[in-house]
Amino acid sequence: MIIRFEQYTSDNKLKGVKMKLLKGSLILLLTIIALQGKNALADGGDRSAKTSELNYQLANEIKEVLKTPLLVYSDRDLNGNIEVTVKVEETGKINFLKIDSENISLEKNALTKLNSLNLWTGPDLSGIEFKYEVKFRQ
């Protein structure tokens, strides 16, 4: 069995204080780095979450507004598919850029209904585009 004795001197005490300061500084530095990294990731994650939520809300708005047809056209055939392109402008205004369909009556009906919506979101999502394909069957 080996027993080791250390003589307690003011030099040992000074080393202990220096070590505690060094450990404390290192922990503080690592905490700051970790928080900065978390904030950087949160910003990207926040935009992604907002984009996903906006996508979900837009899909529901489009579905709701197109449930009831606006029959102001002579051709009542509203069967087919439409492709809707939506863009968030710099101000946050949501615009329907393009509505395409092989069925002209369906396209006009969808255009009239969708343009009746006044949709807005935060300007931090500006420039984002969404595309939806809506299938109509009567």
In a domain, 88, yes or no: yes
The whole-number pLDDT of residue 78 equals 79
pLDDT (tens digit, 9 = 90+) per residue, 103-134?
A: 888 888 888 888 888 999 988 889 999 999 88
Per-residue confidence at 6, pLDDT binned at 50, 70, 90? very low
Domain containing 80: what range?
A: 10-136
Do the domain assignments include residue 5? no
Task: Specify if 2 maps to a domain.
Answer: no
Both tokens of residue 116?
A: 């009746």
In whole angstroms, what is the distance from residue 35 CA to residue 12 CA? 35
N residues, the chain: 138
Q: How many CB atoms lie within 10 A of CB 111?
A: 17
Asked whether 62 and 77 are in contact (CB, 8 A), the reply is no
Count of CA atoms in the C-beta half-sphere (13 A) of 74: 0
Is 0.75 surpassed by the pTM of this model? no
Number of separate domains in the chain: 1
Nearest to 128 by CA among 82, 97, 83, 107: 97
Averaged pLDDT, 7-28: 59
Q: What is the CA radius of gyration of the chain?
A: 31
How confident is the prediction for the chain on average, in pLDDT? 75
